[in-house]
Structure 1
Amino acid sequence: MLTVHFVRHGESAANAGNATSDPALIPLTEKGWAQARAVADSFDVAPDLIVMSPFERAQDTALPTIQKFSDCPVEIWAVEEFTYLSPTRCANTTAAERKPWVDAYWGSADPDFEDWPGTESFSHLIKRARSVLSRLNGMTGKVVVFGHGQFMQAVRWLVVATPHRIDSDAMRSFRAYDMSNPIKNGETLSLDHDGQRWIYNQ
């Protein structure tokens, strides 16, 4: 049996409403650091593997858990956040300022659109999420993955909704699911794999 705990990073500067630029370098707030410590406190037994995103806010969230279980192996996987708006265009903007662009992106429901440079399509996000689930499949024990809200949502949506095609309808379905099932900063989602299928522990 495999148990995977996906942990969303603690509150970041962007989550707090501050202007940010490089999506990979957004820092945690003091509240975010407190959430990171609370995550570490929630684990009584060392995991068999700690996985983290290459993004700063996820790695900082993982740090207290890594320090608590210093003998646990740590790996960086492609579990970074879904960046679908061009970082160049969005430089030094707040979440509120980006909202019209966000609404337009999801309203278009084009799963293959890429807002170059430095972005990926919705189809690619789902491909990444499937790849991570495939990589985890076959492992045993307990794995803790420190990542990001929309990536975690993609993983959960794949397990719960089991979409067969990634088209405009699927993209709309994902967006509706994401908006109605928000993942909070510092929240943990748990999945089990029994050797045959993934099970989401609500």
Structure 2
Amino acid sequence: MTSFGDVPLTALGHQQAREVANRVQHQPDMLIVSPFLRARATAEPICARWPLARCETWPIHELTYLSPARCHGSTVETRRPVVEAYWLLCDPDYTDGPDAESFRSFMTRLLEFHNRLNSADGDFVVVVGHGQFFRAYLLGLREGFTVSSHWMERYRKEETARPMANGEIVELTGEALKRCQD
């Protein structure tokens, strides 16, 4: 593994991807997919079921707040102090290394996704990405996409208290998307 984006989908993940594809009951006007390998693999059964659906890759990947190079060969346990220190600092401009992203950059991606989604053609858009990204997006819809230590704290609290399950589907109407004050 050279980055978090290269983590493959597990056998269980492939099964969950097929189950999600079966829940997509009609052809999407557009399928938006994260560039991360496991998201692309999750989208494959949807693409196979609906081959005429337009598919686009958007930068809706996870927040890579820890440097993958620095984390190479680490375990969840050995990373725990570094993760805790990052979230204790709660500095939206902090970058852990040249291969990591600041929280401010993540927030910029969230707002860009929101704006692109609102201007996308079609009434039925399916987005395949990551729970971390979608948890932040839902918080942004409720509270706006403000870059601050407070927002960062709120996100971390919500993301750890209610992580999204693999294969979880969130349905949003155009009205829900328009409610956000950016």
- TM-score with structure 2 length normalisation? 0.92
Question: Comparing both structures, which one devotes a greater share of its residues to strand?
Answer: 1
Supply the RMSD in Å over aligned alpha carbons.
1.7
Find out whether 1:182 has 2:155 as its counterpart: no
Contact preservation (8 Å) 1:82, 1:151: yes
Of the two structures, which has the highest relative contact order with CA contacts closer than 8 Å and spacing of 6 or more? 1
Seen in structure 2, the aligned counterparts of structure 1 residues 196 and 31 have a Cα distance that, compared at 3 Å, is closer
Q: Who is 2:144 aligned against?
A: 162
Please, which of 120, 126, 131 is the counterpart of residue 144 of structure 1? 126
**Any gaps of 5 or more consecutive residues in structure 2?**
none
Decide whether aligned partners of structure 1 residues 110 and 189 sit closer, same or farther in structure 2, where only a CA change above 3 A counts. Answer: same
- What residue is the counterpart of 2:86 in the other structure? 105
For 1:197, the equivalent position in structure 2 comes to 178
Shift of 1:21: 4.6
Is 1:39–2:12 an aligned residue pair?
A: no
Match 2:31 to one of 50, 65, 69: 50
User: What are the Cα deviations for residues 4-46 of structure 1, in whole angstroms up to 9, with x where unaligned?
Assistant: xxxxxxxxxxxxxxxx552111001110100000000111111
Partner letter of residue 157 of structure 1? L
Which residue identity lines up with residue 45 of structure 2 in the other structure? P
Once residues 2 and 75 of structure 2 are traced to their aligned partners in structure 1, the CA distance between those partners, rounded to angstroms, is: 9
Aligned partner (choices 101, 111, 116) of residue 120 of structure 1: 101
Is the CA contact (8 Å cut-off) linking 1:21 and 1:93 kept in structure 2?
no
CA separation in 2, counterparts of 1:95 and 1:34? 25
1:75 and 2:56 aligned: yes
Q: How is 1:3-18 mapped onto 2 (pairs within 5 angstroms)?
A: none
Q: Distance in 2 between matches of 1:43 and 1:107?
A: 40
Corresponding position of 1:3: none
> Which one has the bigger helix percentage?
2
Structure 1, unaligned runs of 5 or more: 1-19
Distance in 2, matches of 1:131 and 1:37, equals 29
Q: CA deviation at 1:196?
A: 7.6
Question: How many percent of aligned residue pairs carry the same amino acid?
Answer: 36
Decide whether aligned partners of structure 1 residues 22 and 38 sit closer, same or farther in structure 2, where only a CA change above 3 A counts: same
